[in-house]
Structure 1
Amino acid sequence: MKLMMKALPLAISVALVSTAHADEATDKKIAQLEQQVKSLQKQQTASLADKFNFNGFISVGYQSADNSAGYNGATTSADFEQDSKLGFQGTFNISNQTQAVLQLMMRGDNDWEVEAEWAYISHRFDNGLQARAGKLRVPLFMYSDYLDVGYAQPFARPPGEVYDQVPFSSYTGGDLSYDVEFEDSTLTMQAFGGQSDVETDTVELDLSNVLGANISWTDLTWTLRGVYGQTQLDGSLLDDGNAILPVNDETATFTGVGGSYDNGSFIAIAEWTQMEIDGLLADNESGYITLGYRINQFTPYVTAAYLKTTDEAERALPPLFPLALALNEERTAYSVGVRWDAIDNVALKFDVTHATDFGDTHGGLDNNPYDLLTGTFKYDSTTVYSVKVDAVF
């Protein structure tokens, strides 16, 4: 018994030492596992960062006019919303050939509501063909892909005589594009199709069977481009929320050509478009030319643009007089401005645009009423003054 009593403390000590070693081994193993988990998390985070690209753009604009005719929405009051917008774009690289792209836009003239301008999946096949599907920008103009990115444009805003004539900028559907690489230039061919809709205070339209194709060539100095598109229209024109002209399965076609020259100093850009619509809706023709010259960080520019309807005879009969007043348009606009690339990724722009030559029309301006007593419209010209800051990040 005495021997057992003497051996008991020794056994307890051995057990405690063994337990201590076991706990130490367990703690070491747990620490190793935690380190492995952290390493895996770091690798996953790095991999995700490699797959995801994020960028954005912002424009803050001020404008006012010498009257309230409404060119670009301008009046005699200071306006900081019409040309102000904020956009975020994220690109997730699903694989080396497949991407998912989302662009969210907030516009001052739309109460800063968030809307998805782009939301699509893109895949480039081994033969070089690229396919995209989802919500896409309708590729009708030279600046369609950068329509909201003011920093990518030399002027304060794309000329409304051309760019405001198509009432929608995005569609849901898909496109196919293919690049042909030459020694010093690239030829790009694109076909697109889908559907869209337009809902404003003056029009409600469903656009089905949106189809088109464009082709462009560039050697990074010269760029030439041509586009054709068509769609079926259903809906109506509105006046105070009431339908005044039904639109039933009418075909609309769009044709455009454009070109630019940029040798690093001298800039020249021109576009011409024509839109034809069956029925009583207005056909129109429009175009512009912009010339600019870079002097260090400054780029002064001038723009001349025009717009006119080409089917006034279809609305010339007396019963259609109110419709002629609403749809006939004619306008010439002249802009003088300067872009100052103040710092990296930030440009400050000053612009003065004078719109005139309305003929016997309202000039395409919403706030230009017709006076029955005098038989004339209230305004025959307007001048808009703009200051704008464009940035990318």
Structure 2
Amino acid sequence: MTQKSLLAVALLVSPLTSMATIQVTDNFSISGFGSTSITKSDNSAPLFVNREITDNTCYDCDTIFGLQADLSIIDDLKASVQVVKRPQDHWSSPELEWAYLNYEFSQFSVRAGKLRIPLFLVSEYFYVGQAYPWARPPQEVYDSILGFTSFEGASASWLWEFNDETVVRFSPFYGLENDSTLNISGRRLTFKSDYMVGLSAEVSGFNYRVHFGYMNSKYIVSPRPNSDKETLNIYTLGGEYSMDDWLFMSEVQTDDVQTNWYVSAAYNINKFTPYLVYGESHDRRKTNSVTAGVRYDLTHTVSLNAEWQGIYMNRKDYNDGNSGQFISPPILYNEDKDAQLYTLMLNFIF
């Protein structure tokens, strides 16, 4: 798959799985996607939220499998359901990632139900590894909200064709009161939010896309000694641009306790796409990382990634007990402050 094909996929309103849809009837379709890997680091401290990769070879730390059903009820009213076995889930308890009704009229659309949080460039197809060049979206940005990807509420979207080559989309959204849980190395944290309100805005053309996201939420975390409610404001800005066989991507995320960013470049050579990523995390997590890998497209629906990632922390932050990209501070494990991570990943859609 060429870099322009990858970018064209990203510009679609529907997720990448629409490229490999099984048309059951004229108005009902089923599609699916998945990823699995063999991965290992040289550090016993667990790496990455919801994946917890260590120096033991892991065959299921990245395993994802999703099914999506789309139904056209009438011309302008559609329903979509997506169920995903995420890396942190057991096969017996997958997650309902989205389930919504979508109504379109003229240049406007309204969705209601369980929806994907639209903060990042690949939010809409975060679990579809076939849709982006890397083995995983860069953790500096995509782990910044602890792996939460969906909300229950409603969103509206206004599409404006600025000219023949440029499309502008504004999408405000509102999430209802909600409880979410996160398991971190055996600890169970519950996040209770009063609300979630935000906006995503996007400008896209034939070979580029610029995305802005904002979200405000008031929440409480338990168990925690301080039971006061906290207010969170998140801002994101990202862009991607293709030029001949090159694909460049970059995003920055900032909120009240952290700032994170990455830059990425990939170059397509027939079925091979080598890529480099550099990322940094500041304040709450203090690390930098370098990723080098190559993607090989066996077909338009199946790909392989071979990837190395180096994750680094300075000595002072290590001694101060900073966790960086680890689940817990590596100093607690008497482990090194840095890690080398090796991954062989298989992605597919159908």
TM-score bucket (shorter structure): 0.7 to 0.9
Counterpart selection for 1:59 from 14, 26, 35? 35
Counterpart selection for 1:379 from 311, 325, 336? 336
- For the pair 1:82 / 2:61, whether they are aligned, the reply is yes
Between 107-116 and 283-292, the greater mean CA deviation after superposition: 107-116
**Which one-letter code corresponds to 1:291 in the other structure?**
A
Match of 1:203 in 2: 189
Match of 1:295 in 2: 269
> 2:44–2:335: 8 Å Cα contact kept in structure 1?
no
Matches within 5 A, 1:25-44: none
Return 5+ residue gaps in structure 1 as ranges.
1-46, 237-242, 277-282, 310-327
**Which one-letter code corresponds to 1:197 in the other structure?**
D
> 1:68–1:367: 8 Å Cα contact kept in structure 2?
no
Match of 1:20 in 2: none
- For the pair 1:230 / 2:216, whether they are aligned, the reply is yes
Summarize deviations over 1:182-207 as a string: whole Å, max 9, x none. Answer: 21121111000113433122521112
> 1:233–1:247: 8 Å Cα contact kept in structure 2?
no
Counterparts in 2 of 1:108 and 1:285: CA distance versus 1, 3 Å: closer
Match of 2:145 in 1: 166
Distance 1:369 1:291 in 2: 30
Summarize deviations over 1:274-333 as a string: whole Å, max 9, x none. Answer: 011xxxxxx000000000100001000000011111xxxxxxxxxxxxxxxxxx420101
Q: Secondary structure at the match of 1:300?
A: strand
Q: 1:377: how far off?
A: 6.3
> 1:368–1:379: 8 Å Cα contact kept in structure 2?
no
**Which one-letter code corresponds to 1:388 in the other structure?**
M
Distance 2:210 2:109 in 1: 21
Q: 1:117: how far off?
A: 0.4
> 2:330–2:337: 8 Å Cα contact kept in structure 1?
no
Q: 1:362: how far off?
A: 2.6
Match of 2:167 in 1: 186
- For the pair 1:134 / 2:110, whether they are aligned, the reply is no
> 2:82–2:99: 8 Å Cα contact kept in structure 1?
yes
Counterparts in 2 of 1:111 and 1:129: CA distance versus 1, 3 Å: same
* Percent identity of paired positions between Structure 1 and Structure 2: 27
> 2:103–2:110: 8 Å Cα contact kept in structure 1?
yes
TM-score by length of 1: 0.76
**Which one-letter code corresponds to 1:93 in the other structure?**
S
Counterpart selection for 1:362 from 290, 309, 323? 323
- For the pair 1:330 / 2:291, whether they are aligned, the reply is no
**Which one-letter code corresponds to 1:212 in the other structure?**
G
Greater per-residue helix proportion: 1
**Which one-letter code corresponds to 1:341 in the other structure?**
D
Distance 2:125 2:66 in 1: 11
Match of 2:7 in 1: none
Match of 1:49 in 2: 25
Counterparts in 2 of 1:123 and 1:150: CA distance versus 1, 3 Å: same
Counterparts in 2 of 1:339 and 1:363: CA distance versus 1, 3 Å: same
Distance 1:56 1:179 in 2: 27
Q: 1:91: how far off?
A: 0.3
Q: Secondary structure at the match of 1:94?
A: strand
TM-score by length of 2: 0.85
Higher relative contact order (CA 8 A, sep 6+): 2
Matches within 5 A, 1:205-224: 205-224=191-210
Counterpart selection for 1:388 from 332, 339, 345? 345
- How large is the RMSD of aligned CA atoms in angstroms? 1.8
**Which one-letter code corresponds to 1:244 in the other structure?**
R
Distance 2:157 2:43 in 1: 45
Q: Secondary structure at the match of 1:109?
A: coil
Match of 1:305 in 2: 279
Summarize deviations over 1:85-134 as a string: whole Å, max 9, x none. Answer: 11000000001111010001113431122221010000001x32100000
> 1:368–1:377: 8 Å Cα contact kept in structure 2?
no
> 2:114–2:153: 8 Å Cα contact kept in structure 1?
yes
Q: 1:227: how far off?
A: 1.2
Moved runs in structure 1, 4+ residues, more than 6 A?
none
Distance 1:347 1:197 in 2: 36
Counterparts in 2 of 1:95 and 1:219: CA distance versus 1, 3 Å: same
Distance 2:329 2:231 in 1: 29
Match of 1:150 in 2: 129
Q: 1:261: how far off?
A: 0.5
**Which one-letter code corresponds to 2:323 in the other structure?**
H
Distance 2:244 2:98 in 1: 30
Paired residues in the alignment total: 312
Distance 1:225 1:369 in 2: 34
Match of 1:253 in 2: 233
Counterparts in 2 of 1:364 and 1:48: CA distance versus 1, 3 Å: closer
> 2:89–2:95: 8 Å Cα contact kept in structure 1?
no
Return 5+ residue gaps in structure 2 as ranges.
1-22
Match of 1:4 in 2: none
Q: 1:264: how far off?
A: 4.7
Distance 2:336 2:196 in 1: 36
Distance 1:197 1:140 in 2: 20
Q: Secondary structure at the match of 1:151?
A: helix
